Amino acid sequence: MAVSTPTGIDELLERVRAGYTRVGPQEAYAASRAGALLVDIRYQALRDRDGLIPGALVVERNELEWRLDPQGSHRAPEAESHDLQVVVICNEGYASSLAAASLHALGLHRATDLTGGFQAWKSAGLPVATPS
């Protein structure tokens, strides 16, 4: 029985990111204005600390596939079709890459993620709302 060499996270990220085109903050903003669904997967403490992107659907990472699978019994109302354009946003753009790849595996072929995550969005001066 051959032992395979483990894949490191950097290699895994490179591999999954090669499967789709990532977007920057301005592209994500333009996509959302054109009907794309922004999905914020950051955990509550980060949203409380840094704020929210107005109009983004908040779905924590551990629920993402269940909420965005158009065929799923626990899907969010926004998850209407496999053709839905989704931009996944985490804090700095790492976890969102793995999440976007997972959405591709579910057939959401237009899923992508935000390079640099929420921090890049905020640094670009794009809209951020203070959590209530």
**Using one digit for the tens of pLDDT, what is the confidence trace for 19-52?**
999 999 999 999 999 999 999 999 999 999 999 9
What are the tokens at 81?
A: 């079709």
Each residue's pLDDT tens digit in the chain (132 positions)? 777 888 899 999 999 999 999 999 999 999 999 999 999 999 999 999 999 999 999 999 999 999 999 999 999 999 999 999 999 999 999 999 999 999 999 999 999 999 999 999 999 999 999 876
* Contact between residue 97 and residue 113 where contact means Cβ atoms under 8 Å apart: yes
Strands (E) across 1-132 are located at 37-40, 57-58, 86-89, 111-113
pTM (whole model) above 0.75: yes
* Predicted local distance difference test score (pLDDT) of residue 2: 73
